[in-house]
Structure formats: C-alpha cells, structure tokens
Amino acid sequence: MEPLKVVARLWERIEARDWDGVALLIAEDAVIEWPVSSERIVGRDNFIAVISDDDYADERSVEVLRILADGDLVVTEVEIPQDHVVYRAVSLWTVRDGQIAGAREYWTSPGQDPAPRWRAGFVEPLAETFPESMTAD
C-alpha cells in the first residue's frame, strides 16, 4: 500500500478506536517522537498502549485537515476537538514496506501560545480556511 494510504488508514483506525487495525499499520520497532512533551515512544506495543489508554482515547472525532506525501514521507495535520479544547497535530510519518516506521508529531492547541503585543501592527488574525489544493479527498 502506498505511504499516503497507510497514514490515511491510520487516522481512520484511530478514530474508529480499532487498535488491532492500528497495530497492523505500525512497524514493531517504530519510533514515535513528541517533541512538545519531550517524549519518545519506542515500539508498536508502547504506541498502542499510549493511544488506547482510556484517558487519551475517549470518544473524540479525528478530522484530517491536510495530508501530503513525498515518497516515504507523509505529512498530516489533524484536529481533535474535545469539550473544552481543540487539539491539533502536525505529524511527519515515515512509511516503509507498508508500515509506519517512525514519526515526529507536534501536538498543541490553537491559541495556546498567544502572540506578543509588539507584533500587533505587523500581523492579522489567522483565518482557519484552507485552499482546496491543501486538503486530501
């Protein structure tokens, strides 16, 4: 399966809470890095344990905002809303032999890092719209 389809299926399986299906898409020795929280998850079993934990994997929707591929590298931007906050992640996935071998994911929430006042004269509020060319079908 081509890398873009592997990662698209990963997000579908995560949203469906199909942990066995997710496991099939992750290499046994995969390394997933979360630089914002300074964490590295080594191995498929550890990744599944983290993302399937009840505190982490409640009934949330996953919306893929963008998905782009260049060879074995797939970049996604996803949004996961909760009652009190919206999480966003930009993820850089490395796919080899039809499985995810590694990733670096940057998780945050819009507005979490407020803009300093000194930039107000040089910037405008970000509009949350994306050109059609930036989204995948």
Q: How confident is the model at residue 134 (pLDDT cuts 50, 70, 90)?
A: very low
Is residue 58 situated within a structural domain?
A: yes
| pLDDT-based confidence at residue 127 (cuts at 50, 70, 90) | low
- 127: in domain: no
- The average confidence (pLDDT) of the chain is 89
Q: Indicate whether 33 belongs to any domain.
A: yes
> Does residue 9 lie within any of the structural domains?
yes
Domain enclosing residue 28, as ranges: 3-109
Domain total of the chain: 1
Assess if residue 134 is contained within a domain: no
Helix (H, G, I), strand (E, B) or coil at 39: strand
Say if residue 28's pLDDT is above 70: yes
Quick check: is 34 in a domain?
A: yes
pLDDT at position 111 is: 77
Give a yes or no: residue 115 inside a domain: no
Sheet containing 73-81: which strands, arranged edge to edge?
Answer: 39-42, 26-34, 99-108, 86-96, 73-81, 63-70
Q: Is residue 78 part of a domain?
A: yes
For residue 133, which phi and psi values (nearest 5 degrees)?
-70, -15
Task: Give the three-state DSSP class for 81.
Answer: strand
Q: Which CATH number goes with the domain that contains 94?
A: 3.10.450.50
pLDDT beyond 50 at 32? yes
pLDDT, average across residues 34-57: 90
